[in-house]
Amino acid sequence: MRKILPILAVIAIFVSACGAGNAQPTAIPLPTSFPTNTPPAINAPAEADSNAQSGDERVSSVDGMPQAYIPDGTFRMGAMDEHAKSDEQPAHNVTLKAFWMDKLEVTNAMYMLCVQAGACEPPQRFNSETRDQYFNNAEYNDYPVVYVTSHQAELYCDWAGRRLPTEAEWERAARGDDFRTYPWGDDRPDSSRGNFNYFVGDSTQVGQYPAGASPFGVLDMSGNVAEWVADYYDSNYYAQGVTMNPTGPGARSKYFNHSVRGGSFQDAFIDIRVAARASVRGSNPNADDPYSEDYLGTVSPKIGFRCASD
């Protein structure tokens, strides 16, 4: 586990590479098949959201992230397909209040803004699975940030005026309100719908698979990089019958394992189903040594994140 770089050294790298305080997230072209209206900024007064409808979008004034509106509703959470695993069962109805979900995974350029604002530490490593220079490399500005801890993901979302989504929010944004197996439906995945099964071998630019969009227009929810969510992981949590705005269990071990959703560029089709769950060691901010593995948890070139907001 690579330790966090000294702050002065990091600042020197950023100043020399792009000029401190001047980084801007590169515009990300979205598929034209989805709504293109320009809604209120995320920091607008709360009453601006009161008339939002399913499919509406807005764009963050903080990091440029487009978000999709997910209305109040009840959906079926858990696996209902032949590949169902024990921790994805029993399938059960869950009712959620309305929320907004990032349409894209948080990118390197977006994350850089948080670092330059002094609210985020840099990723634990600057490479990706196959690229030696990935973060802080303009060529990959619009690719998902990786090698971030669960706590770093939380800090970013807080800085951006958002939060990590719950598992239930993540799954509804991916599935919609029917019983589909993948964000696009029940058809077997292929390379036109997502980045998985080492078809590419590393992350791809966000938003490049419009054929894989969810019913709400959310992109890259199957493959590319897996995503931290807010919930701690418990393989038996669904059996507890929490059906109203579930937020997951308390930490169940000293390792603070978090749920991770969506699968990554390495995963087979079974592991990019919308019901698929993974358990990954999260951060423990209460650990004595902030440079220790206990404090940081697991980081990976296959894990990034997206945010949500109420």
Q: Which residues contact 196 (CB under 8 A, 6 or more apart)?
A: 189, 222, 223, 263, 264, 265, 266, 267, 268, 269, 272
pLDDT in tens, 53-66: 887 999 999 999 99
* Separation between Cα atoms, residue 115 and residue 112, nearest integer Å: 5
Residues paired with residue 70 on neighbouring β-strands, in sequence order: 99
pTM of the model: 0.85
pLDDT in tens, 158-214: 999 999 999 999 999 999 999 999 999 999 999 999 999 999 999 999 999 999 999
Q: H/E/C letters for each residue in 126-151?
A: CCCCCCCCCCCCHHHCCCECCCCCHH
Q: Which residues contact 178 (CB under 8 A, 6 or more apart)?
A: 215
Q: Which domains does the chain have, with CATH numbers?
A: 7-309 (3.90.1580.10)
pLDDT in tens, 121-165: 999 999 999 999 999 999 999 999 999 999 999 999 999 999 999
